[in-house]
């Protein structure tokens, strides 16, 4: 009788360890996919910043912060580099926008925990003439819900 209980305990332990192994494998796969996506974003950001036709413009953002926008027409992409940006209010995030023919279209979010960062704006530049930054609810908004913190024209 004791051997049956021991066998059952061993089988339960093996099944539990098998489940843990499957879970760890899935977690590792997800981490590899995330790392690959981050590498692609970093490579694309570097390509925009180093493009032969890249043009940059810098502006003061207030409270000693500065922002630089870099545009590559040949890549149809833009990047934003911030330095010294104050933390947004709790539950809020800085959102980037393309200024496109009098309207603003979403271009990504800044990491609220980072005071300085470089990000590739989401989407093509197309006919956008500049960019804006607003403070939005965490996760962002489809349209600006606050006055711009900054507006920057793209360099000519």
Residue 62 has pLDDT above 90, yes or no: no
pLDDT-above-70 percentage for the chain: 99
Residues 23 and 79 in one domain: no
Q: How confident is the model at residue 84 (pLDDT cuts 50, 70, 90)?
A: very high
Residue 1 has pLDDT above 70, yes or no: no
Structurally, how many domains does the chain consist of? Answer: 2
Residues 73 and 134 in one domain: yes
Greater pLDDT, 117 or 21: 117
Residues 87 and 10 in one domain: no
pLDDT of residue 97: 96
pLDDT tens for 106-150 read 999 999 988 889 999 999 999 999 999 999 999 999 999 999 989
Residues 80 and 127 in one domain: yes
Q: Measure the CA–CA gap between 24 and 114, rounded to whole angstroms.
A: 30
Q: Of 49, 65, 86, which residue is a domain's last? A: 49
Q: Provide the residue range defining the domain that includes 44.
A: 1-49
User: Which pTM was predicted?
Assistant: 0.76
pLDDT of residue 78: 96
């Amino acid at each position: 009788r004791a051997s049956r209980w021991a066998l059952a305990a061993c089988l339960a332990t093996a099944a539990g360890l098998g489940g843990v192994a499957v879970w760890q494998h899935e977690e590792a796969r997800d981490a590899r996919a995330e790392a690959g996506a981050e590498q692609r974003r970093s490579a694309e950001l570097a390509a925009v910043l180093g493009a032969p036709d890249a043009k940059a413009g810098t502006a003061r953002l207030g409270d000693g912060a500065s922002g630089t926008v870099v545009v590559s027409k040949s890549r149809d992409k833009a990047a934003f580099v911030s330095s010294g940006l104050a933390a947004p209010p709790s539950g809020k995030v800085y959102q980037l926008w393309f200024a496109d023919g009098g309207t603003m279209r979403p271009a990504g979010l800044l990491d609220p925990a980072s005071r300085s960062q470089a990000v590739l704006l989401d989407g093509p530049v197309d006919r956008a003439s500049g960019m804006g930054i607003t403070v939005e609810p965490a996760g962002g908004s489809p349209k600006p819900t606050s006055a711009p913190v900054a507006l920057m024209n793209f360099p000519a």
